[in-house]
Amino acid sequence: MPVDFPADENGDVLRAMQADGDDLSVARDIDFSLLFGDEESAKAFCVIFAERGYEVDYGPWEIDHDNVTDLKFGKWNVQVVHHMVPDHALITAFEAELQEAATPLGGRNDGWGCFQVNEA
C-alpha cells in the first residue's frame, strides 16, 4: 500500500523510491553524508559516531566549484552508515541527531542514500 510522505526533501526521495518499486518496509544500510571544512573537524565527528556504534568513514570531498555551498563546506566528507528502515520520521530524526553533533564542528548534512530492495 503506497505511503503518503510529507512534502519535503526526504519525502521526495522516499516517494521516488516507492514509485521505483522499493520495498520500504525492509531495513538496509543507509549512508548519511556530511560536509566539514577541515580534516580535524571531520575526524572529531567520526569519533563521536564511532563511539555510538556506527560505521563511519571520511575523506576529501571533490568540490563542485559552481556550488557556493560546496565552496564553503565541501573540503571533507563524512559518511555514517545506519542500518534502518527507510522511514521518513526515522531518517529525519537521525539527520537532526547528525546535525546537532556536526554544527559545533562547522559541519552540515549533505543527504543520504541506499540501495534499492525490490518488493517480493
Domain limits of the chain? 36-114
Is pTM beyond 0.75 here? yes
- pLDDT given for residue 71 in this prediction: 53
pLDDT at 62: 74
d(CA 52, CA 56): 10
Q: E strands along the chain, which residues?
A: 28-36, 55-60, 76-84, 108-114
**Which residue did the predictor score with more confidence, 118 or 119?**
118
- Condensed to tens digits (0 to 9), the pLDDT of residues 50-59 reads 999 999 999 9
42 with 80: CB under 8 angstroms? Answer: no
**pLDDT at position 2:** 75
The pLDDT confidence band at residue 90, using thresholds 50, 70 and 90, is: very high
Whether the pLDDT of residue 120 is over 70: the answer is no
Predicted confidence (pLDDT) per residue in 12-50, tens digit: 999 999 999 999 999 999 999 999 999 999 999 999 999
Residue 92's nearest CA partner among 24, 6, 1 is: 6
